[in-house]
Amino acid sequence: MKVARKNVVLLGATGSIGANTLRVLRKHQNKLKLIAVTAHSNDQKLADICQEFKVPYATLTDSSAYKRAKAEGRFPSETQLFGGNDALIEISTLEEADIIVLGVVGACGLKPALAAIDMGKEIALANKELLVLGGSFVIDAAKRSGSRLLPTDSEHNAIFQCLEGHCNEDVEKLILTASGGQFRDAPIQKLDSVTPADATQHPNWSMGQKITVDSATMANKGLELFEAHWLFNLEPSRLEVVLHPQSIAHSFVQFVDGSILGQFTPPSMTFAIQHCLLYPHRSASVEPTLDFKQSMQWDFRAPDLARYPCLKLAYESLYTGGNALAIYNASNEIAVERFLNGSINYLDIPRIIDWCLSNDTNSVATSVEALIEIDALTRKLANAFKSSSV
């Protein structure tokens, strides 16, 4: 069957999700066409992407990078270049766009994604903050417009694939796998002396800095629990996390009859990204998949919450609900930033999250603007935290 070529908008083209998306696009040029790309300040890398893929529209959200790129004529003449945050919305709502890959980091994807969802466009959802922050607004908007949210995070993509063809009432629980990060076997008492250089090396995945630190603390799994809650509409007691150091089983769905389905590939984001971009069709993968002629070992064990206080705080936030998820996310983001610039130590990350959550008034934001304000207030609070150990 001949399938129409999809027009792809890639937000965050210069990042790790961006690079893996470009690999899928190179492989499937007859099925996918890149029509718009964005970056924050990496103007040269974005210009090279425009050159290679002959991209008609590009955006640099950082205004000095935009001015520099314009002044130096870095972009090919066939690319129309825009600058500033609002341009992310313009690019995500291009009439000819079919699917928006949300590969930016942080809350900057919220408004463009909501605008694209309102227009009924497909969203390949890698950016976690969209659901963590905007959960109910995003899900409601997608229901209204009929926009399809395709989970790109490997765990949610696995669950999405396992759920296809099944009824929600038949699901007992979702089991999210986690590598446990680079300190899963380190003595707990040594965690206080972990350096940013140690925390930004992941044993299995090659990812951006922030998410690599989040993997070590398991705040990443916390954010993924929030995402799973919104995407699959399940209460916290039916969301489980299991450590799986090899990162081959990307998650499981357990049904009421005791059957458990899982999805498995080597640890590379190209598999999940391709699944979303070509959905509902399938095609040859960018990289070779697992080969059962080679012996391999898969291990599973429950996470120790004393080692991963960020995971414990995530469950507590999920039970509290309301603004707690936004507070968890913003406080973690600042905590990671401060850890990376040396102003706090590794174990201050959960301390900051805990401190910000304890200031929560248990209110519920009723608009996206109110959420953004809570996000900003939490960031201020997290920045004011004084480390007793640095």
How many chain residues bind ligand NDP (CB under 6 A)?
Answer: 27
What are the angstrom distances between the C-alpha of 41 and each of 12, 68, 89? 10, 10, 17
State phi, psi for 323 to the nearest 5 degrees: -80, -5
152/128 Cα distance (integer angstroms): 10
Residue 101, SS3? strand
Residue 278 CB, nearest approach to ligand NDP (Å): 18
State phi, psi for 178 to the nearest 5 degrees: -145, 140
Instruction: Determine if 207 is a binding residue for ligand NDP (CB under 6 A).
Output: yes
CB 123 within 8 A of CB 113: yes
Which 33-62 positions form the footprint of ligand NDP (CB under 6 A)?
Answer: 39-42, 61
Element (H, E) at 57: strand 57-60
Q: Which of 153, 333, 348, 375 binds ligand NDP (CB under 6 A)?
A: 153
Residue 255 CB, nearest approach to ligand NDP (Å): 26
Binding window for Mg ion (CB under 5 A); candidates: 43-51, 55-63, 127-135, 147-155: 147-155
Instruction: Determine if 106 is a binding residue for ligand NDP (CB under 6 A).
Output: yes
Q: Which of 122, 129, 153, 333 binds Mg ion (CB under 5 A)?
A: 153
Please say which residue, 147 or 154, places its beta carbon nearer to Mg ion.
154
Closest CA to 98 of 115, 127, 119, 122: 122
Which 109-148 positions form the footprint of ligand NDP (CB under 6 A)?
Answer: 126-129
Instruction: Determine if 214 is a binding residue for Mg ion (CB under 5 A).
Output: no
Residue 232 CB, nearest approach to ligand NDP (Å): 17
Q: Which of 35, 108, 175, 273 binds ligand NDP (CB under 6 A)?
A: 108
Reply yes or no: is the peptide bond before residue 280 cis, omega within 30 of 0.
Answer: yes
In this chain, which residue has its C-beta nearest to ligand NDP?
Answer: 15
Per-residue tokens: 3: 């399938």
Please say which residue, 154 or 265, places its beta carbon nearer to Mg ion.
154
Binding window for ligand NDP (CB under 6 A); candidates: 102-110, 112-120, 173-181, 357-365: 102-110
Residue 42 binding result from ligand NDP, Mg ion, none, given CB thresholds of 5 to 8 Å by partner type = ligand NDP
Please say which residue, 200 or 323, places its beta carbon nearer to ligand NDP.
200
Write down the H helix ranges in the chain.
16-27, 43-53, 63-72, 86-92, 110-118, 129-145, 154-163, 196-199, 209-217, 219-232, 270-278, 309-320, 324-340, 348-358, 368-384
Which 82-121 positions form the footprint of Mg ion (CB under 5 A)?
Answer: none
Sheet with 6-11: list strands edge to edge: 80-83, 57-60, 32-39, 6-11, 99-102, 122-125, 149-151
Binding window for Mg ion (CB under 5 A); candidates: 129-137, 151-159, 161-169, 186-194: 151-159
Q: Which of 21, 58, 103, 308 binds ligand NDP (CB under 6 A)?
A: 103
Instruction: Determine if 236 is a binding residue for ligand NDP (CB under 6 A).
Output: no
* Contacts for 86 with CB less than 8 Å, ≥ 6 apart: none
Which 154-183 positions form the footprint of Mg ion (CB under 5 A)?
Answer: 154-155
Q: Which of 81, 138, 211, 213 binds ligand NDP (CB under 6 A)?
A: 211
Binding window for Mg ion (CB under 5 A); candidates: 11-19, 31-39, 67-75, 150-158: 150-158
Residue type, 348: D
Which 250-309 positions form the footprint of ligand NDP (CB under 6 A)?
Answer: 269
Residue type, 380: K
Q: What's the burial of 113, exposed, middle or buried (CB within 10 Å: 0-12/13-18/19+)?
A: buried
Cα–Cα–Cα angle for 183, 187, 192, nearest 5°? 75
Residue 18 binding result from ligand NDP, Mg ion, none, given CB thresholds of 5 to 8 Å by partner type = ligand NDP
Closest CA to 59 of 129, 128, 109: 109
Give me the residues that bind Mg ion (CB under 5 A), please: 153-155
Give me the residues that bind ligand NDP (CB under 6 A), please: 12-18, 39-42, 61, 103-106, 108, 126-129, 153, 205, 207-208, 211, 269
